[in-house]
Structure 1
Amino acid sequence: MSRSGADLALLLLGGFRSLVDGATAELARRGYEDVRPVHDFAMRAIADGAGNASELGRRLSVSKQAAAKTIAVLQDRGYVTRGTDPRHARRMLLQVTPLGFEVLRQGEAIFDELREQWERQIGATQLQNLETYLAALSGDPAVRFDTPGWMSRGLGDLM
């Protein structure tokens, strides 16, 4: 049976969604029921140097207002803080807290566990081949979270 290009896109999206939904559910089981995928992307961008709402908005391809809302949620939940920029005393910089880094570490461990589940389902060789083929087709890494425009839609319902 031959599938269409749209079928392929939906299968790839379904695989992504399955992993992300599984990770989000497992984070909730581990006590982080308030974490959403956009929070992971935002904390990684902040850890990588997005020090304010404007920069975070650029990295996530969202408005400054949407970035500010995400920052407020992350601050309220204790995942990020605003500290003083050592180079500019009046400027505030975002920083990921130890709790935020713990959530990121937990998420990475969960994705490793989900990968192991897939390996058990289809076999180590099949999964390695899948990863090799996907890397050849889409590049390795396939997508960076801060690539402009890649996730700019639908963030409002994830906060």
Structure 2
Amino acid sequence: MYVSRSEGSFINTVSIPPSAFDELLQVFSRHYVCARYTSTLQLLRPRRISELFGIPPATLSRVLHKAEIALDKALQEIPDAQVRYPSKHQQRQWARRVQEKEPLLDGVWGFVDGKNYRVQSPANADLRNAHYNGWLHTVLVTGTLCYGMDGTLVRGRHNLPGSWNDGETTANCK
């Protein structure tokens, strides 16, 4: 995949195009030694990765932890990797671009998307009630992302009670 530079494959696998991956890899490799492995690996569970590379789970956990720290440092160095709320000027520009495509949408500069994740039911009744989603009939945590019209991530909130809907989780996204 890396050699073929297929944009579709990159986006499906790592959620960013090859050019963004190269930029991230350049900064990331300053914080972490990147070993080259050429086999085609699918998303694997830690146990399977340990078996495949012949390393103990504790070692894998330590290596992944160090890689996560290096990734965090690398992302802090890349301005385009930051989650930034747009200025009023940027909001107006995006709103004009949206209205050019959809004339009936006035003042809309982005969109919201939420995701629910099932969790184990808490023993505490109040906590369980807060996380119970009556519409979906299960205990959840929810997360919401707010994007600008060009795909820029402008806000995110996660691990919120599952009883909240997307609108409630984005009340401050104005």
Asked if these proteins are the same fold (TM beyond 0.5), I'd say no
TM-score, normalised via structure 1 length? 0.33
In our comparison, the structure showing a higher alpha carbon Rg is 2
Q: Which has the higher helix share?
A: 1
Structure 1 or 2: more strand by fraction = 2
What TM-score, normalized by structure 2, do the two folds share? 0.31
